[in-house]
Amino acid sequence: MPRFGDQAAVMLKRRPNLGPLFPYLITVREADRATEFKQCCNGLGIKGITLHSYRYAWAERAAKAGYPERHAQSNLGHGSKAFARAYAKKAKVITPPLEDYEKACRGGKVILFPRDMDAEGQRLQAALGEAGAPSAAPAI
């Protein structure tokens, strides 16, 4: 399930607690929402933005931040990693040196994925190896 960051949560709290987030849009047929959005943009003099642009921007932002691909796939509602990759293809990702990643992993600063956790939510020692050094590349 997607979660919102602090800034998005603050913005959403300004919206009504009950009912639709954007009341007008429920009156517009789903197939016509993109057209409605485009007309609003044109009326405001905004060019080059579509309703779908937000999905691409989110995917690119997630990739650039190093958000796990499987989480992005789930949040975007895609059944395939290929779709998530296609949405994020313009992201300029700067990867950290493996040495820094390993250090962060040992320091508990890397979020492990469910398959890296046991039933009680404890880190599996296999992820870090017996001596604290990764025995294999962490699952990302």
Domain that holds residue 29: 19-50
Question: Does the residue 64 lie in any domain?
Answer: yes
Question: For the segment 5-18, what is each residue's pLDDT rounded down to a tens digit?
Answer: 888 888 878 877 78
Q: Given the structure tokens 């990764």, which residue do they identify? A: 134
63 and 46 in a common domain: no
Confidence at residue 2, expressed as pLDDT on a 0 to 100 scale: 60
99 and 87 in a common domain: no
Question: Does the residue 13 lie in any domain?
Answer: no
Confidence band (pLDDT; 50, 70, 90) for 25?
confident
Reported as type and span, the H/E element at residue 112 is none
104 and 82 in a common domain: no
Question: Does the residue 11 lie in any domain?
Answer: no
How many domains is the chain built from?
Answer: 3
101 and 122 in a common domain: yes
Q: Which tokens sit at 114?
A: 């469910």
